[in-house]
Chain A
């Protein structure tokens, strides 16, 4: 009866996270295929008899829940967002991730490369092009020196360009990682890799993993909130805050930056609150019946989401309402009321952090400085983008610091890849605007707060800023480091799916970058 072919796949005989009896039933049923059925049928009555004994003989549930390979993430199914302690004492309790969608040029911001400037306008050496794939570069492009002057700032004496005059005052709070690398050179897959650990869709995002592992304190707000500015959704689409194979309650909730933050939270006109409550109660009853029949955890997710949306009516509107901030605070961010902007979102991010939201994800679109148009160029659009983010980020850091929140809030800034040391020559021609192509070989991110060593630069690229030469940090290493700061061993925060112990960092070994820990 324990014959491997006849039994349910091994991964299902260990307890599932958030396991409950109905879910187990569903999992077993889903694992059955026609072949399973036929194989079982061949055993005849004897197998059927033995099969009835199987539940007595298979001590699946006795496997220790907090096992050596997986930490136990089981919750009351009615409170899927309940707080769970991390594996070990955390350095960071919440994350604000500022994703610059489109990939800002590190060579115009944090990477000071005098050699590149010296060779500006000369043909790119063939050795840099051999075996490389580019999105748009063709033939032999010209090297392109940094378009903006650099200077050293702060006690740490780090180099920064003149494009971020407000942020540079916080340079001694930042941990700049110059040696990031990715293996994706198109926006959507690269963004997916940075946000979900995998270039293909269908995997849980960073925020989903964090909320899955830790839950969230404020039960009246989603634990994972996404705010978008810059006029466009990032190329990776909503999968960037998707939940993949994790229960869908852990997906990011995108909130609108003006008007009602979440549509249809408030009851429609002429429907009173008690009436709304009665409708919800009736729906919950039906859903509970459905869950009892089929055991699909998504049903519970749906119940929890209805309940949360009811509770959110007040709190979400309040949390998102930056009119409640004094004028001076709004001015420090550069907010404009009634507008959808990165500045407004940064202020909202601070308000959400104060209200116990676990993971706050901001996207600001428009950094894809190819030089193909005024908006997508280093000499025009890029300047605008820098101006749009510089003051708000600086104000956010200032406010987090003032309140002591920066001690346990991890702020991460970065794009999805870097930009080439060569000027883009789309179609083999000199383009009207100055721009750079995508470079997966090297990019810069920075982190601040939450247990990260302040005022340091880590890693090094070659003299042209083209490839990493020292202290390489892969995207999965960044993820492992972030999870470590939040109190997790990235190997143990995993979820059984498709026969694998799925985890954010994937199957390749990831390293916690110990050098950047405070």
Chain B
């Protein structure tokens, strides 16, 4: 009985945070992924743009004990990243920049930026933020569980914004899973604007993409075939 009550509470919270559509997709994904042993999957992403603010997010006296460093692919701290080594290698190959947070010398988080197009590593898709000289791509912001209440997240973003301003970037685009309410609300607090969304349905080697922005529909049967999403921030104005 207690387990049923916990399930009901969890479902009710998910419904409140995600809405019926996303909850239905989430349940369907769990169902077909289990039946197909993982070869059939559903992803839903929201594409958002976040302004690079003129002011720091943290008050000056906060987060001073958190050091942020821009690392290269030879840095030993990469061994502590909770990500596959191959995925990290591929990010650097694409030209991504990695900001790493340290507290008292200990690794506590990272944030990735890319000035240019990003080849997604979860589904087959290419994201191109536009205009290229004013818009970046940010992805995979991670903070160690014990540091999530502190200022690591904001220190990472303050340093990222400093980096972006230095490169004359006004907006940073990203994609957020519709099933990740925490990330959606964190981004919303950073002032994100929604640009569209896409659903990726995987069935074996096939990927069907349905999106609210161009190319709207795409069918892929091999890794080299993917939709390109051009995420244009020109209509969003200056920050």
Interaction A to B: no
Binding site for B on A (CB under 8 A): none
Binding site for A on B (CB under 8 A): none
